[in-house]
Structure formats: C-alpha cells, structure tokens
C-alpha cells in the first residue's frame, strides 16, 4: 500500500523553504476554518503578542483537527493570514511545536489589511487528509 500522504519534489521548481510545494494525499478530507487567538471562552489570548497568539491559534487548530479525528500529521495545507509579515517567525515557532521540519505541508502566507477584529494579528486555516 502506498503512503496516504506524499511530498513529491517537482522538477524545475526552486526548493521550498518552510513549506512543501506539493502534497499528494489519499483519504478523508478535513477542512478547518481560519482559527484566531481565542481561548475556550472566546477571550483574546496575547493582545499585541504574536508569539502568544500563534501558540493559541495552533492549539485551536489541534483541537479542531482532533474533533474530526485528525492531527497535525494529517495536515496537507496551511494558509496564514497575517496583518504583518513580521509575525511569520512567531508562527513558524508555534508550528514547529506541532509539525516537524521534515513533514512541512503546502502553505500560503498572505498579508491582509485587517482581520475581523483589530486585536487579531493572524488567522490560520488548515486542510488535512486522514488515511482510511
């Protein structure tokens, strides 16, 4: 049986840094809406602190994935919406606590003018494929 998730190296494309260019997966698809730095009571975590917000966002992603029977090993794509690209190192550090560098998913990072509330510094969504 082949691996449920493969990360092929495309010919003629510059090497990826901090993400995979391509992830091929077979299984049950799980989509996690963009997560914000809110705790279980809906209270902002880490006002003005990108590292604290990133940690909370990844914890929320972890909980959402678990609710669908998935985990970070199943993630094939992350999309980062940030109000400032300077927050990306904090996001990478939080991601590293959950996803090893040799298993990075495909990813996109987009700087936006604003999120739903001005105190949010980032929103991150995830797509996963769970082997059946």
In a domain, 107, yes or no: yes
* Placement of tokens 């987009």 in the chain: 110
The tokens for 36 are: 């914000």
Classified as helix, coil or strand, 116 is: coil
Q: Does any domain span residue 94?
A: yes
CA distances from residue 35 to 4, 51, 117 in whole angstroms, order as listed = 26, 15, 13
Asked whether residue 125 is assigned to any structural domain, the reply reads yes
The string of DSSP codes covering 21-80 is S--EE-SEEEEEEEE-SB-TTS-BSSTT-HHHHHHHHHHHHHHHHHHTT--GGGEEEEEE
Enumerate residues 6+ apart whose C-beta is below 8 A from 108.
77, 78, 79, 80
Residue 124 in any domain: the answer is yes
Q: Model-level pTM?
A: 0.93
Task: Please list the rounded mean pLDDT of every run of 10 residues in the chain (132 residues).
Answer: 79 91 93 98 98 98 98 97 98 97 95 98 98 85
Within a domain: residue 12?
no
The domain containing residue 74 runs over which residues?
A: 30-130
Residue 98 lies in a domain: yes
Nearest to 77 by CA among 37, 112, 115, 104: 104
**pLDDT given at position 5:** 86
Domain count, the chain: 1
CA-based diameter of the chain, in Å?
48
Helix, strand and coil in the chain, % to nearest 5: 25, 30, 45
> Residue 115 belongs to a domain with what CATH number?
3.30.1330.40
- Give me the pLDDT at residue 115, please: 98
* Domain-located, residue 20: no
């Amino acid at each position: 049986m082949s691996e449920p998730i493969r990360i092929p190296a495309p010919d003629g494309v510059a090497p990826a840094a901090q993400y995979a260019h391509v992830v091929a997966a077979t299984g049950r698809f799980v989509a996690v809406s963009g997560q914000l730095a809110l705790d279980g009571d809906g209270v902002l975590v880490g006002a003005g602190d990108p590292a604290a917000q990133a940690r909370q966002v990844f914890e929320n992603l972890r909980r959402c994935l678990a609710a669908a029977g998935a985990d970070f090993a199943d993630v094939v794509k992350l999309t980062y919406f940030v109000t400032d690209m300077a927050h990306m190192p904090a996001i990478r550090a939080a991601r590293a606590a959950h996803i090893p560098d040799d298993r990075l998913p495909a990813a996109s990072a987009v700087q936006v003018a604003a999120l739903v509330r001005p105190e949010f510094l980032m929103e991150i969504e995830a797509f996963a494929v769970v082997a059946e």
